[in-house]
Amino acid sequence: MSDALIRLTATEAVAALKARKVSPLELIDAAAARIAVVEPAVNALPTLCLDRARERARRMGAMPEHPGALHGLPVVIKDLVDVAGVRTTYGSPLFAEHVPATSHPLVERIEALGGIVIGKSNTPEFGAGGNTFNEVFGRTLNPWNTSLTCGGSSGGAAVALATGEAWLAHGSDHGGSLRGPATLTGVVGLRPSPGRVTRGTPANLFSPLSVQGPMARTVADIALFLDTMAGHDRRDPMSFEAPAIPFSVAARSPKPPRRIAFTADYGGAVPVERETRELCARAALRFAEAGVVVEEAHPDLGPAADVFLALRSQHFLVDRELQLQAHRDKLKPDIIWNTELALAQTPSRLAWAERERAALYRRFLAFFETYDLLVTPGAPTPAWDVTQRARTVVDGRKLDSYIAGSLLTSAITLTSCPALSVPCGLDRHGRPVGLQLIAPPRGEAALLAAGAVFERIAPWAGNFPLDPRPGSVPPDA
């Protein structure tokens, strides 16, 4: 019974809960059994709160009807976000024993709508980094090959999904922290438009760079979780109301886009490994099977890499300046580097970055007058050696920072466009490769519909749950 339950999609599990064919307690027990089996091999969920979950499930079971869209479905929350009474470390030694008294506003919303938190997923320190490791809990390993990284910073969330430890996982995304791990582990991830999902009460209340979002194993499950997350929160001045028509409707009855553009590397402006370019090009062309016009085209990125670095560093300065002053010796080098970049840059440099971001946004808007979607690879390479902090070379080009390997995703962050990562195949070493589907701002419904169309053409979810596989690092990884 336990094995059968973890094989359900989130949508199927919620339907079973709603019909009272299964109880929240049974799903918690199924997840706990699976976690006990696979967690030693992957280290995705270092903090569990199963007693808290079971108590909430018992209270829910006493209700005449399970509340909300999730009806008692177990979920996992990234360890950057507070859950009341549950150890929440942000991946930092500074908060290694931190137990918050109250939950993040998004967790409050998820629990009010029937989600039951069963654990916290691993993340790099303060979410900084494209490889999930920290000094509190160590490394999270990719279940497709445990010698490889799962990406970051929502790496624990992605691995929990891929291995069947959870049906839905919360993630967050700044430069690709949700989309990258989804791509490297073969799951699905959505970076929503800024304001679609509350970010709670961060110091960067008015920045559109960092967002919260859903991760899952199917597009329909992403839509289900987005319906749970989306909506206005008065504590977040950028948030806005959820649409009248649920996103799940778009995923259930998907309408293909009329015309999409594909680019493997923006005309060579972004380094992408050759095999990844070829696999993604073939996958994008499969949209034609649904009657979609597929053309090779792309907007001009301009100096997006430098723009993102300038704005990201300012974001870090707001978040980490005081910690840098008080605890420099306890922060990892990536955080110090990002923060000190902002301290060194001039006001004129920051003003230049804002002007260039506005120009990039206008170029994307003009591009979407011709195309419904832009499609790119989800990452420049498949997963690499887990002992390396980040990629250092892509397609023979040396990268000058760990952020440089994320331009496919960070450039989209600058535009405020929603982006969906969907798996599309395996490379010659058996590593997942994925597509990034990008829609105009606030175009999540059309984006999810397109993702569902692709998923029907190229079904993938049958690969899960995945038993972790030991392996060696490919020679080119």
Structure tokens at 232: 């206005």
Q: Which helix (H) or strand (E) holds 340?
A: helix 333-344
The helix/strand/coil state of 12 is helix
Instruction: Determine the number of helices (DSSP H) and then strands (DSSP E) in the chain.
Output: 15, 15
153 annotated active-site: yes
The helix/strand/coil state of 330 is helix
Our measurement of the distance from residue 109's CA atom to the centroid of its chain's CA atoms, rounded to an integer in Å, reads 19
N-term to C-term CA, the chain? 39
Beta strands in 80-210 (DSSP E): 115-121, 133-134, 138-139, 168-173, 188-191
DSSP single-letter state for residue 59: H
The helix/strand/coil state of 390 is coil
Q: 290-323 burial by CB neighbour count: b if 16+ within 10 A, else e?
A: eebebeeebbebbebbebbbbbbbbbbbbbbeeb
Structure tokens at 122: 């691993």
Neighbours of 238 (CB within 10 A): 17
What is the Cα–Cα distance from 367 to 160, expressed in whole angstroms?
36
Q: Residues in the chain, how many? A: 477
The catalytic position among 92, 103, 147, 153 is: 153
What is the Cα–Cα distance from 36 to 168, expressed in whole angstroms?
18
The catalytic position among 103, 147, 177, 207 is: 177
User: Which residues, other chains included, contact 79 with Cβ-Cβ below 8 Å and sequence gap of 6+?
Assistant: 46, 47, 88, 89, 90, 91, 120, 121, 122, 123, 156
Pick from 406, 57, 441, 97: nearest CA to 240: 441
Structure tokens at 441: 């701002």
- List Cα–Cα distances, 392 to 144, 147, 196, 199, 422, in angstroms: 22, 17, 34, 31, 25
What is the Cα–Cα distance from 92 to 95, expressed in whole angstroms?
6
What is the Cα–Cα distance from 423 to 382, expressed in whole angstroms?
11
| Cis before 153 (ω within 30) | yes
Pick from 440, 170, 129: nearest CA to 312: 129
Structure tokens at 174: 């700044």
**Active site positions, annotated:** 78, 153, 177
